[in-house]
Chain A
Amino acid sequence: MSHVTFIEANGTEHGVDVDNGVSVMEAAIQNSVPGIDGDCGGNCACATCHVYIDPKWAPLTGERTQMEHDMLEFAEGVEPNSRLACQIHMTAELDGLVVRMPESQH
């Protein structure tokens, strides 16, 4: 199990514990964290799981894939630390991860 903290655009925090291997998108959906839609079920195909990675954690979450990059082209409010939460899978190393959510997924 690892811990993830989701911070809504309005500052509300949600801490959840999830099994390693689970994606950050699934972690939110499984725990009914609002603000992540995940329409495509984690196929990197809808960009409704957009999050901002806390700078401290950025080096550990890796790089965007090409497809992720292409999908993020069309998301709202993309920043250098934007990622698609379905493309980040929890590991022991990521225990304690903090991500922020945009105003809206569209």
Chain B
Amino acid sequence: MYFSWGDPKMATAFKQSDDLMAAAREEAFSMPLDKIDVSDGARFVNNTFWPFFERLRRDAPIHYCAESKFGPYWSVTRYKDIMAVDTNHAIFSSDAHLGGITVADMDDDFILPMFIAMDPPKHDVQRKAVSPIVAPANLAVLEVLIRERAQKIFDNLPINEPFDWVDRVSIELTTQMLATLFDFPWEERRKLTYWSDIATSDPDLPGNPNRQERQVILLECLQYFTNLWNERVNAPPAGDLISMMAHDPATRDMAPMEYLGNLILLIVGGNDTTRNSISGGLLFLNENPDQYEKLRQNHKLVETMVPEIIRYQTPLAHMRRTALQDTILGGQHIRKGDKVVMWYVSGNRDESEIENPNAFIIDRARPRQHLSFGFGIHRCVGNRLAEMQLKIVWEEILKRWPMIEVLEPPVRVSSSFVKGYEKMMVRIPG
């Protein structure tokens, strides 16, 4: 058998990334603390952000960065402190009008009202309207559909031929899951991916649509979904999300922008996160051949591996809050209006809470002890759906092939929010 991960080309790639990491470590531990800015997407592209968080966890767990592309912000990097912020929604607000939930402030001229970026009581009302879609009974129905569709994707993959796993598998599976959730016109399902990408794209980066273009595209998205809404509001209630929103008293009178906001939330919430977990899992197994072997020996480990993939990937590197009043956090004085960033990606590697946190271990005793879904009232609505999707992926893969090889280091996304992969070339040995 041919193991690409051990091939000379890979050895060179590994050496390069080791050198980069060593340089980053040197920099992270020697630079003045107040100059550290972990919000820079560039360090996420080459995966060298890790030592900066290690330094912050050790030397400045509640850290103030006075100058960044996104303005001044606090970083919270330890597991326990993140939990404290996440569970204190009375002080730490998610409100879009105060800037919302990412280190980049929401665009003032075009605020999409969505419940992830609202505080109680409005958040609670809207969340309750959407959550039945992922209730156990409905998940069981979805599981059958999602599995059938996943099987088709896997059955059509090329053997012994390099292909891009991100595009052919991760994006396709996730798009199909979302299309299933919305009962979206099947042939047009890639529109969902497109809108999600547009909604999360940084309008200031060259090559991306600018603010105005972005608004135009998102309004087209609204138009499309409004047509679906009109169709379904006049039909009997069904189990898809649009029908649910159209018939629920809490959501049926939503203003158009609010409807758009909640749609985008569901698309974005389920899209990049699940996609990048699907890619990440395969990468981690290639990086850890002993774990891959353990999995081949015992397929039941999928159960505990799935949450471990989600911890290890941390598909959303952070969530942000805005302080509603002066408060003390870990000895630091946070002022009303300050931006507070909870770095889940750091908390998930906090050795004081998680044993051997830098290791990918597929049979941990308490694999769900991680921050990737957030905690508190905004804890991910889709968390069991995401796990189900990954469980299906790995069960179906193991049924078919003992090994899928990653052929070269993946191309990573340039963002300190969506942590993921643009491209990852793989081959299924035949």
**Chain A residues at the B interface, C-beta cutoff of 8 Å:** 37, 39-41, 43-47, 67, 70-71, 73-74, 76, 103-104, 106
Interface residues on B, range: 20 to 34
Q: What is the bound-complex CA distance between A41 and B79, given in angstroms?
A: 12
Given A44-B87, A73-B124, decide whether A39 and B368 contact each other with a Cβ distance below 8 A.
yes
What are the residues of chain B within 8 A of A74 when measuring CB–CB? 124, 127-128, 131, 377, 379
Q: How close is B228's CB to chain A, nearest CB, in angstroms?
A: 26
Q: What is the bound-complex CA distance between A103 and B138, given in angstroms?
A: 14
Tell me if B377 and A71 are in contact (CB < 8 A).
yes
Q: What is the bound-complex CA distance between A37 and B87, given in angstroms?
A: 18
Q: What is the bound-complex CA distance between A106 and B132, given in angstroms?
A: 10
Q: With an 8 A cutoff between CB atoms, is B68 at the interface?
A: no
Q: Which residue in chain A gives the minimum CB-CB distance to B79?
A: A41
Q: A45-B87, A73-B377 provided; 4 other pairs, C-beta below 8 A?
A: A45-B375, A45-B376, A74-B131, A106-B135
What are the residues of chain B within 8 A of A40 when measuring CB–CB? 83, 375
Q: A67 is contacted by which of B87, B379, B384 (Cβ under 8 Å)?
A: B87
Q: With an 8 A cutoff between CB atoms, is B256 at the interface?
A: no
What are the residues of chain A within 8 A of B127 when measuring CB–CB? 74
Given A71-B377, A74-B128, A74-B131, decide whether A39 and B87 contact each other with a Cβ distance below 8 A.
no
What are the residues of chain A within 8 A of B131 when measuring CB–CB? 74
Q: Which residue in chain A gives the minimum CB-CB distance to B89?
A: A70
Q: A39 is contacted by which of B124, B136, B369, B377 (Cβ under 8 Å)?
A: B369
Q: What is the bound-complex CA distance between A39 and B384, given in angstroms?
A: 12
What are the residues of chain A within 8 A of B376 when measuring CB–CB? 45, 71
Q: How close is A7's CB to chain B, nearest CB, in angstroms?
A: 19
Q: What is the bound-complex CA distance between A74 and B139, given in angstroms?
A: 16
Tell me if B379 and A103 are in contact (CB < 8 A).
no
What are the residues of chain B within 8 A of A67 when measuring CB–CB? 87
Tell me if A41 and B369 are in contact (CB < 8 A).
yes
Tell me if B87 and A103 are in contact (CB < 8 A).
no
Tell me if A46 and B124 are in contact (CB < 8 A).
no
Q: How close is A23's CB to chain B, nearest CB, in angstroms?
A: 15
Q: B375 is contacted by which of A43, A70, A103 (Cβ under 8 Å)?
A: A43
Q: What is the bound-complex CA distance between A47 and B376, given in angstroms?
A: 9
**Chain B residues at the A interface, C-beta cutoff of 8 Å:** 83, 86-87, 89, 120, 124, 127-128, 131, 134-136, 139, 366, 368-369, 375-377, 379, 383-384
Q: Which residue in chain A gives the minimum CB-CB distance to B385?
A: A106
What are the residues of chain B within 8 A of A71 when measuring CB–CB? 376-377
Q: How close is A44's CB to chain B, nearest CB, in angstroms?
A: 7
Given A41-B369, A43-B375, A45-B376, decide whether A76 and B87 contact each other with a Cβ distance below 8 A.
no
What are the residues of chain B within 8 A of A70 when measuring CB–CB? 89, 120, 124, 377
Q: What is the bound-complex CA distance between A59 and B262, given in angstroms?
A: 41
Tell me if B368 and A104 are in contact (CB < 8 A).
no
Q: What is the bound-complex CA distance between A9 and B96, given in angstroms?
A: 40
Tell me if A106 and B83 are in contact (CB < 8 A).
no
Closest 7 CB pairs of A and B: A45-B375, A104-B136, A39-B368, A45-B87, A106-B384, A45-B376, A40-B375
Q: How close is B267's CB to chain A, nearest CB, in angstroms?
A: 21
What are the residues of chain B within 8 A of A39 when measuring CB–CB? 368-369
Q: B86 is contacted by which of A37, A41, A45, A47 (Cβ under 8 Å)?
A: A45
Which residue among B136, B139, B369 has the maximum number of chain A CB atoms within 10 Å of its CB? B136
Given A37-B368, A70-B120, A106-B384, decide whether A45 and B136 contact each other with a Cβ distance below 8 A.
no
Q: How close is B132's CB to chain A, nearest CB, in angstroms?
A: 9
Q: How close is B386's CB to chain A, nearest CB, in angstroms?
A: 12
Tell me if A45 and B83 are in contact (CB < 8 A).
yes
Tell me if B375 and A73 are in contact (CB < 8 A).
no
Q: Which residue in chain B gives the minimum CB-CB distance to A75?
A: B131
Q: What is the bound-complex CA distance between A45 and B379, given in angstroms?
A: 8
Q: B135 is contacted by which of A43, A45, A47, A76 (Cβ under 8 Å)?
A: A76
Q: Which residue in chain A gives the minimum CB-CB distance to B124?
A: A73
Q: Which residue in chain B gives the minimum CB-CB distance to A70?
A: B377
A-B contact pairs, 8 of them (CB 8 A): A41-B369, A45-B86, A45-B375, A45-B376, A47-B379, A74-B379, A76-B136, A106-B136
What are the residues of chain A within 8 A of B87 when measuring CB–CB? 43-45, 67
Q: What is the bound-complex CA distance between A104 and B379, given in angstroms?
A: 17
Tell me if B128 and A43 are in contact (CB < 8 A).
no
Q: How close is A43's CB to chain B, nearest CB, in angstroms?
A: 5
What are the residues of chain B within 8 A of A46 when measuring CB–CB? 375, 379
What are the residues of chain B within 8 A of A104 when measuring CB–CB? 136
Q: What is the bound-complex CA distance between A106 and B373, given in angstroms?
A: 14
Q: Which residue in chain B gives the minimum CB-CB distance to A76?
A: B135
